[in-house]
Amino acid sequence: MSFEQEQFEEELKAKTNEVEVPDSLKPENIEKMLEQKTVKKKKWKPLYTVCAAAACCVLVIGIAVAGNGMLTKNNGDLSETADSAGRKSSADSGGVSVDKTIASAEDYDQIYKYIKAEKKNQDKLYGGYGNTGSVMPESRVDDGAMEDSANTAAGSAEKSVSAADQASAYSDTNVRQEGVGEGDIVKTDGSRLYILNGQKIQIVDIEGEEMEDLGAIRMEDDCFVSELYVKDDKLVVVYTRSEYEDGENGYGGMYKQYTVAETYDVSNPKEPKSAGMITQSGNFYTMRVIGDYVYMLSNFQADVQAARDDISSYIPEINGKAVDSANILLPQYIRGSQYTVVASFSLKDPDKKVDSKAIFGSAGLVYVSNENIYVCEGYYNSEDSIVTQTCIRKVAYKDGSLKAVGQTRIDGTLNDSFSIDEYEGNLRLVTTVSATGRSVSPLVLFGTVSDTAEKDSNALYILDENLEELSKIDGLAKDEMVYSARFMGDTGYFVTYKQVDPLFSVDLSDPKKPKILGELKIPGFSDYLHPYGDGLLLGIGMDVDETGTVTNGVKLSMFDISDPSNVKEVEKYVLEDIYSSAVSYNYKAALISTDRNLIGFTAYGQGPHYYLFSYDGKDGFKCLFDRELGSSYEGRGVYSGDKIYIVAGNTVESYAIDGFKKVDDIVL
């Protein structure tokens, strides 16, 4: 942008400073409006009772279902319920198939039908905002229909079992699942650093005392680079790009986003050579690497307005070819607009796709275990269920090939990928269960406009390899939400929070009979949990005072879990005036090595800082290092040999791990 243009924009902004926000839009009035709205909905009660009486016989099944839901909900005393029959009927009621087998699309016509159904649903949604105050049952439909952002409970990506924990000469990205590699913005192979810096991928030699800038791969301006991965002199650069497609008569043209995994041969790091690429429709979501196979996941948004013959607008493509209908997995309901597109390739042959699947529905959180990919989509439909739900589809992977295994639907939504974990073939999940449509829950039908209808609770599920329910504990921690979870073999830990932070420990050794072992209540919360050697669990989160009102700063907690039934917080360290840590949003921002006794992360106060801590039983947490990071927001710590490298934007600083004396720095 030219300087004059910038100046002119400033001028425009200045000239509009006088604008008076109308009274109705003042925050205090918006607050009142929202409060009234909630109250108004509660006032429907008498009307609803009349309606309910009138509709009583029609609702027999519905009531039985809701009743069942309520009973389990009220069954808050941690007792498990093995109610397979009851649940199935409840799931069947909504026109949502709970057939455990995943159906593939017959042809594109079928997909098109789903897209049109989605469009209809969206139109209804947009039409619905105007008459929010009216007592129309339709507004319930609208509330439920807004599931397609499919965020699954604040679910971003996933978190970790640290590969960095292994006694290794150099650190790897903090990953969700041990043995399953992930990309990040900084990677190392022990002798070089690969750094994503805007449009450039910088390669830095770290073998000597002094770092050496080996050069950079410069990407085109329209590439939005997300992540890197390096293995055996192969560097995978993942980026999203858009391409213009003309519409009819040159009007209504559209930009289509696609994800590219381009592999470079970096055996001569001064002259990286492109060895091939794989492209797939949609925005990059995440990647996994197991052995030589790379699995690329993107989210593709179908155009619900698309014409039937405009196939590329609603069917994703891989390497420019539309995905075959047999590889498109249909959702459990007849409607959809988004895909999770999975394509695999081998690092040895990086321009050839090995296999692909397009998981159609609403897209959502993905968890990748050592053998399976689980796509979890939030499902909020107050007509189907009185509580929020999650649809789960399981796709097995091996040596690049992908196979649909099965699907199911459970109550509640996932906080992040640490809330779902595969172990010995079984799947364990902790979910937060909320009423659908918030205050317009159909529970009003019972005349119980009590608080319970709106209160969250939490549930633990154990499913077998076919996703059949083995056991379930529900009604946990009323009115609280899951903030973090960590499954470690036969024991699971999760933190729920409202004002004080109970850390639950669960015995999962008998998958048919999980047992809550303990509940530790402390102020504040941890939103990331990480095993820290024998009998210890590290928590990173926020310290909040007993009343739950004043946030004191970022908190490190060490829990003694040697006796899971009696978990203790043995140590805590509060970083005052530091209001958040990058780990709360992205587990990859953490560097945790029990082997080296290092806990590193970026946290934000006045500006971003990089912190390194150690922990021992005698001295507790010790802050080894605190460095302000210029302007860059995302810092990473990486170690190799006896040095640690702090990478932030275009600068790298190296320090001796012993004593943290600065060795060198380099500006790229």
Q: Which of 13, 270, 618, 661 binds other proteins (CB under 8 A)?
A: 13
Q: Are 571 and 559 in contact (CB under 8 A)?
A: no
Looking at beta carbons only, is 171 or 581 nearer to other proteins? 581
Q: Tell whether residue 388 is a contact of other proteins (CB under 8 A).
A: yes
Q: Tell whether residue 200 is a contact of other proteins (CB under 8 A).
A: no
Q: Which stretch binds other proteins (CB under 8 A): 172-180, 190-198, 306-314, 545-553?
A: 545-553
Q: Tell whether residue 249 is a contact of other proteins (CB under 8 A).
A: no
Question: Residue 158 CB, nearest distance to other proteins (Å)?
Answer: 11
Q: Which stretch binds other proteins (CB under 8 A): 128-136, 353-361, 422-430, 610-618?
A: 128-136
Q: Tell whether residue 378 is a contact of other proteins (CB under 8 A).
A: yes
Q: Which stretch binds other proteins (CB under 8 A): 33-41, 161-169, 342-350, 639-647?
A: 33-41
Q: Which positions from 434 through 453 interact with other proteins, judged by CB under 8 A?
A: 434, 438-439
Q: Tell whether residue 543 is a contact of other proteins (CB under 8 A).
A: no
Whole-angstrom Cα distance, residue 623 to residue 376?
38
Whole-angstrom Cα distance, residue 1 to residue 11?
15
Q: Are 455 and 82 in contact (CB under 8 A)?
A: no
Whole-angstrom Cα distance, residue 308 to residue 8?
45
Q: Tell whether residue 30 is a contact of other proteins (CB under 8 A).
A: yes
How many other C-beta atoms are found inside a 10 Å radius of the C-beta of residue 227?
20
Q: Which of 92, 117, 190, 224 binds other proteins (CB under 8 A)?
A: 224
Q: Tell whether residue 43 is a contact of other proteins (CB under 8 A).
A: no
Q: Tell whether residue 208 is a contact of other proteins (CB under 8 A).
A: no
Q: Which of 199, 305, 580, 632 binds other proteins (CB under 8 A)?
A: 580
Q: Which positions from 398 through 437 interact with other proteins, judged by CB under 8 A?
A: 413, 416, 434
Q: Tell whether residue 551 is a contact of other proteins (CB under 8 A).
A: yes
Q: Which helix (H) or strand (E) holds 520?
A: strand 515-523
How many other C-beta atoms are found inside a 10 Å radius of the C-beta of residue 556?
24
Q: Tell whether residue 12 is a contact of other proteins (CB under 8 A).
A: yes
Q: Are 560 and 570 in contact (CB under 8 A)?
A: yes
Question: Residue 548 CB, nearest distance to other proteins (Å)?
Answer: 7
Three-state DSSP string of 413-448: ECCCHHHEEEECCEEEEEEEECECCHHHCHHHHHCC
Kindly tell me the sign of the dihedral angle through the C-alpha atoms of 365, 369, 374, 380. Answer: negative
Q: Which stretch binds other proteins (CB under 8 A): 60-68, 153-161, 347-355, 631-639?
A: 153-161
Whole-angstrom Cα distance, residue 104 to residue 84?
26
419 CB-near residues (< 8 Å, 6+ apart): 155, 429, 430, 431, 482, 485, 494
For the record, the structure tokens of 84 come out as 């397979």
Q: Which of 38, 268, 274, 466 binds other proteins (CB under 8 A)?
A: 38
Q: Residue type at 378? A: G
Estimate to the nearest angstrom the gap between the alpha carbon of 298 and the chain centroid: 13
Question: Residue 386 CB, nearest distance to other proteins (Å)?
Answer: 15
End-to-end CA distance of the chain, in Å?
A: 24
The pairing of beta strand 598-604 with beta strand 500-507? unpaired
Q: Tell whether residue 311 is a contact of other proteins (CB under 8 A).
A: no
Q: Which positions from 458 through 497 interact with other proteins, judged by CB under 8 A?
A: 481
Q: Tell whether residue 129 is a contact of other proteins (CB under 8 A).
A: yes
Q: Tell whether residue 586 is a contact of other proteins (CB under 8 A).
A: yes
Q: Tell whether residue 155 is a contact of other proteins (CB under 8 A).
A: yes
DSSP class of residue 387?
Answer: B
Q: Which of 3, 16, 60, 618 binds other proteins (CB under 8 A)?
A: 16
Looking at beta carbons only, is 33 or 82 nearer to other proteins? 33
593 CB-near residues (< 8 Å, 6+ apart): 162, 164, 165, 171, 639
Question: In terms of Cα–Cα distance, which of 41, 82, 89 is closest to 66?
Answer: 89
Q: What share of the chain is helix, strand, coil (3-state, %, to 5)?
A: 20, 45, 35
Q: Which stretch binds other proteins (CB under 8 A): 122-130, 265-273, 403-411, 615-623?
A: 122-130
Q: Which of 98, 103, 146, 214 binds other proteins (CB under 8 A)?
A: 146
Question: Residue 126 CB, nearest distance to other proteins (Å)?
Answer: 6
Q: Tell whether residue 40 is a contact of other proteins (CB under 8 A).
A: no
What order do you get walking across the sheet with 254-265 strand by strand? 224-231, 234-245, 254-265, 273-281, 317-318, 321-322
Which positions lie near other proteins, rule CB under 8 A? 1, 5, 8-9, 12-13, 15-16, 19, 21-22, 24-28, 30-31, 33-35, 37-38, 126, 129-130, 132, 143, 146-151, 153-157, 221-222, 224, 242, 244, 254-255, 378, 380, 388, 413, 416, 434, 438-439, 454, 456, 481, 542, 548-551, 579-580, 584-586
